[in-house]
Amino acid sequence: MVSLNQFSTPLIDALKKYSNSSITPFDVPGHKFGKGTKELRDFFGPNLMKIDVNSMKCLDNLSNPTSVIKKAQELLANAYGCDHSFFLVNGTSSGIQAMIMSVCAPYDKIIMPRNVHKSAVSGLVLSGAIPVYIQPETNKDLGIAMGMSYESIKKAILSNLDAKAVFIINPTYYGMTCDLKAIVDLAHKHNMVVLVDEAHGAHFHFHDELPMSAMAAGADMSAISLHKTGGSLTQSSAILLKEGNISPMRIKNILNLTQTTSASYLLMSSLDGARKILATRGEEVFSEILSVCRYAREKINTIPHLYAFSKELIDNKGVYDFDETKLSIKVSDLGLTGFEVYELLRDKYKIQVELGDINNILAIVSLGDDKSSVDKLINALFHISKNHKKDKSFNYNILLENPDIIVSPRDAFYSRTKIIPLKDSIGEVSGESIMAYPPGIPIISPGERISKEIVDYIEELKNQHTLITDCHDPEINHIKILGA
């Protein structure tokens, strides 16, 4: 692959030139460089307002890039060692949906883990594909889903040789990865495309002590959230593509079905800038981040009743490798739920972690962190352990059963539905998704049979004041089911 000048930023340079050109705008957006919205200009700053602009010849167009956006995408692809990249301004969710739609037609099978993000379920609705779910391995002590074992994927592939694709998460929200290279080789041997949700792994490609990236493993396509771990602005992501099994024009056409024609230059230019940092300084930056993470784990694991888990979980089954930048900490031995510790950290100590679940909290350590920032977290956790411990113990396991799929997600989405009390829904077919957020993994999806275990699990999550999303009834006392 030809090496490009990764120090260049074609889109940022074009925006700088445009903002300094003394243009008088009679196009959209209507704020006209912030002149019409003084409060926004004073808050955001004049430079930001001057680059919130519309597509035009000198700035290119995301729907059909031919100049500076095209060059910026080529640089991103080159940085990740793939053939094509596509900027996304609607997050990785839109990329996951586009990946599934590019490969699967209605009623095509796609093999995927049960703990997929809700965007993958949306991709099933949009494409009409039928999921073949694989149970990920689980860790009962931590109460979380891990990765998928190679053997479970091999069994699913050999039992569904007509499947069009295998969908992999690399990594899980908590940092676990599976044997991606072996899975890619097996899927390709059986003429299946490999799609990778790499929302939390955009940084993998830039340091050899991080898990293997999808492109390095030979996957056909991945969707990456550069805004999560790569430094770009929230909602800016990308699709990466290796040529061979999927046409780049197919991806472009599908993105043009669903992505805005008014793509944000703030988001796109942040991708250009983040890529430059990753490509030119990634190894240096992530060496420092890994050092900080290892320091944090060592300190946290000296605090009574806390366990910051890491690579010791590797077992070549559910955990083939582990992303150390996911600072995941079991807190339930304090007699507190992860939700309670999450709120204590935010409200009492002014520390915002990524998530809390029943047993754990997760802090993501990335480009802007250093020893001083993690010391604040370590000190807060020490104080919580000393002053907030309760004399109770519990360990509630995550529910990841494979409900019976009675109707395809797409057919269920378009079916007639009715609302009934949740307690009366056992045995019915769900007409909606219900999930805890974060991380946004469905507990039940449209078209699946509702079991007693699912109802009990939802009630337990409600009792723990979990944020449950996507359902018709925000109080989760009722559920939408199929039926006239």
Residues of the chain with pLDDT under 70: 1-2, 393-401, 437-440
| Closest-CA residue to 67 (of 78, 52, 76, 56) | 56
CATH architecture for residues 409-482: Alpha-Beta Complex (3.90)
Domain coordinates in residue numbering, the chain: 10-279, 282-387, 409-482
Rounded to whole angstroms, the Cα distance separating 88 from 259 reads 8
Which pTM value belongs to this model? 0.94
Give the domain 282-387 fold: Aspartate Aminotransferase, domain 1 (3.90.1150)
Which pLDDT does position 471 carry in this prediction?
79
Which pLDDT does position 393 carry in this prediction?
67
**Measured torsion, CA atoms of residues 473, 478, 479, 482, in degrees rounded to the nearest 10:** -120
Top CATH class, 10-279: alpha beta
| Closest-CA residue to 231 (of 288, 175, 279, 172) | 279
Which pLDDT does position 136 carry in this prediction?
87
Phi, psi of 186 (to 5 degrees): -65, -45
Which pLDDT does position 400 carry in this prediction?
59
Which pLDDT does position 439 carry in this prediction?
61
The DSSP result for 368-425, as a single string, is T--HHHHHHHHHHHHHHHHHS--S----PPPP-----B-S-HHHHHTS-EEEEEGGG-
